[in-house]
Amino acid sequence: PFGSGRRICPGIPMAAVTMEMTLSNLIYSFDWESLAGAHEIDTLKSPGTVTHKKNALQLMAKVYDHGYKS
């Protein structure tokens, strides 16, 4: 989606850093639990040109208490 060669998107590094920061903030700010209560993550994939998970990963996000006082 970013192109290649001389016309490659100059925003690729910014997009990569933004995605990394977003993911790290989600991991840091929440406790994640499986809705099904499963201890193992289903890694089955469905065949095709683009790989999709056969069964969707459903998680519950709970705000993590870091113990800071306001």
pLDDT score recorded for residue 26: 93
The percent of residues in the chain predicted with pLDDT above 70, rounded, is 94
Contact 9, 40 (CB under 8 A): no
Note the pLDDT of residue 38.
66
Q: Provide the pLDDT for residue 54.
A: 76
Q: What is the pLDDT of residues 23-50, one digit of tens each?
A: 999 999 999 888 876 677 777 777 777 7
Between CA 38 and CA 36 the distance in angstroms is: 5
Cα diameter, the chain = 52
Domain layout of the chain by residue ranges:
5-63
* Pairing mode of beta strands 45-46, 52-53: antiparallel
Closest by Cα among 28, 31, 41 to 61: 31
Q: Is the dihedral of CA 23, 24, 30, 32 positive or negative?
A: positive
